Amino acid sequence: MVFEKKAVHFGGGNIGRGFVAEFLHNSGYEVVFIDVMDKIIEALQNTPHYTVTEIGDDGERTFDINHYRAINSKYEMARVVEEIATADVVTCAVGPNILKFIAEPVAKGIEARTLDYPLAVIACENAINATTTWKSFITSYIETKLNKHTLDILDTKARFANSAIDRIVPHQDPDAGLNVKIEKFFEWCVEHPPFEGAVQPDIKGVHFVDDLQPYIERKLFTVNTSHATAAYYGYNRGKPLIHDAMTDPEIHDIITTEDQNDYVEKIVTRISNPALEDKVERVGRAPLRKLSRNERFIGPAAHLAEMGDSCEHLLGAVEMALRFQNVEGDEESFELSKILKELNAKDATTKITGLDASHPLFDRVEKIVAKVQKSSSL
């Protein structure tokens, strides 16, 4: 394989190594990993290659990932900026809450760019319009800390495209090192319109679409909602693994009742796969984010409530998520417990969900919050 293109990727975790880097590597990009975790960066720097194993119903296949470098942005920010200034693509898989912290190097790299084609900036996060969010932090940094003129010519220096990623990366073996097990099924959709008049990045397996919204909402409100629902019901019923939860007939029915179509059935089959062994605590982590206004439970439930349709199964999952408290290793679960203890039901509902008190869903969620608060205090 000939590597002539360069991609800078923020995040050396399993999604970064096992999904994004696999696609970029197989498309002929040299991948430059950026992270602040010393252990991950040192491992990448000292290991010339690692293996990605795709797991499916029809068995496994492996890919050898090599021709990458790794930089710790905590110590070598100037190098990171230089890499971005000379890259073809910049991606990230760091979590939506971290986007503001990785805006500075991208802003500086864009300003320093002298190539005659724009950089492709694509966030690979489980959030709606994550690249747009990242862009807002980047442009704000340019406007307040760098040369404002860069904003006038921004289209010549960078193009920002939202994306929707869909691939399950389960709990990894404790001795896996850099190797990653990953689901064989994948979907990576990227907006095409931002690249009009510029070179669209050549990444094998990416589906470029004119309208991303249906894809990202389908993924977030079906795949992520189903996965998290299985986790929260499983956690509250003492099921250690996701596929254990899915063998419970009641949990299975709760997840599938909403819409018996081919897509949902495929999702149920995927998250029921015992080969993708995954702990309910890992899938359920960050309950505050998952209970926020535009996320996988409140987002679709609010839409259904606005239309006057039933959202009982989603509200059941909301209750299970609210009971995901004080889980070791998950800071948000402790913060959730604190909110429910310190605030009354109405204020807690507002803080957790972001719903306006006048919204048709608010009173129903408030009752659930009050119910959880009462049972937690017993």
Residue 112's contacts (CB-CB under 8 Å, 6 or more residues apart) are: 81, 82, 84, 85
Q: Quote the domain boundaries for residue 197.
A: 5-211
In this structure, are 86 and 40 located in the same domain?
yes
CATH number of residue 310's parent domain: 1.10.1040.10
pLDDT recorded at residue 239: 80
pLDDT of 219 strictly over 80: no
pLDDT recorded at residue 259: 41
CA 150 to chain centre: 29
In this structure, are 313 and 245 located in the same domain?
yes
pLDDT recorded at residue 258: 45
Range of 51-60, 80-89, 122-131, 314-323 with top mean pLDDT: 80-89
- How far, in Å, are 35, 63, 181 from residue 42 at the CA level? 10, 22, 21
Lowest mean pLDDT among 187-191, 192-196, 309-313: 309-313
Task: Report which of 165, 164, 69, 160 is spatially closest to residue 107, judged by C-alpha positions.
Answer: 160
Residue 262 CB neighbours (<10 A): 7
Q: Cβ(292)–Cβ(354) under 8 Å?
A: yes
Q: What is the domain count for the chain?
A: 2
In this structure, are 126 and 223 located in the same domain?
no
In this structure, are 137 and 158 located in the same domain?
yes
Phi, psi of 68 (to 5 degrees): -135, 160
pLDDT recorded at residue 16: 95
In this structure, are 43 and 161 located in the same domain?
yes
Boundary (domain end) residue, out of 211, 245, 262: 211
Q: Cβ(87)–Cβ(8) under 8 Å?
A: yes
Distance from C-alpha of 293 to C-alpha of 352, rounded to nearest angstrom: 8
In this structure, are 78 and 203 located in the same domain?
yes
pLDDT recorded at residue 260: 40
In this structure, are 163 and 244 located in the same domain?
no
Give Rg (Cα) of the chain.
Answer: 21
Distance from C-alpha of 68 to C-alpha of 25, rounded to nearest angstrom: 8
Q: Where are the alpha helices (DSSP H) in 169-248?
A: 213-218, 225-236, 242-246
In this structure, are 221 and 368 located in the same domain?
yes
pLDDT of 271 strictly over 60: no
In this structure, are 128 and 188 located in the same domain?
yes
CA 272 to chain centre: 20
In this structure, are 187 and 245 located in the same domain?
no
**Token duo for residue 176:** 């896996």
Distance from C-alpha of 135 to C-alpha of 146, rounded to nearest angstrom: 15
Q: Are strands 180-183 and 158-161 parallel, antiparallel or unpaired?
A: unpaired
In this structure, are 54 and 185 located in the same domain?
yes
Distance from C-alpha of 135 to C-alpha of 148, rounded to nearest angstrom: 15
CA 149 to chain centre: 32
CATH number of residue 61's parent domain: 3.40.50.720
pLDDT of 269 strictly over 70: no
Q: Which helix (H) or strand (E) holds 324?
A: none
CA 347 to chain centre: 28
Which residues are 191's β-sheet partners? 209
Task: Report which of 292, 290, 284 is spatially closest to residue 349, judged by C-alpha positions.
Answer: 292
> CA 78, 82, 84 angle in degrees (round to 5)?
115
In this structure, are 161 and 202 located in the same domain?
yes
Residue 95 CB neighbours (<10 A): 17
Distance from C-alpha of 321 to C-alpha of 128, rounded to nearest angstrom: 20
More confident call, 218 vs 57:
57
**Token duo for residue 199:** 């070179």
Boundary (domain end) residue, out of 185, 211, 237: 211
> So which residues are the catalytic ones?
219
Boundary (domain end) residue, out of 196, 211, 226: 211
pLDDT recorded at residue 218: 65
Residue 17's contacts (CB-CB under 8 Å, 6 or more residues apart) are: 33, 50, 52, 65, 178, 180
Which residues are 183's β-sheet partners? 55
Distance from C-alpha of 56 to C-alpha of 152, rounded to nearest angstrom: 48
Q: What is the pLDDT of residues 148-165, one digit of tens each?
A: 999 999 999 999 999 998
Average pLDDT over the chain, rounded to whole?
89
> CA 71, 77, 82 angle in degrees (round to 5)?
80
pLDDT of 200 strictly over 80: yes
Name the pLDDT band for 263 (thresholds 50, 70, 90): low
Question: Counting Cβ atoms within 10 Å, is residue 210 exposed (0-12), middle (13-18) or buried (19+)?
Answer: exposed
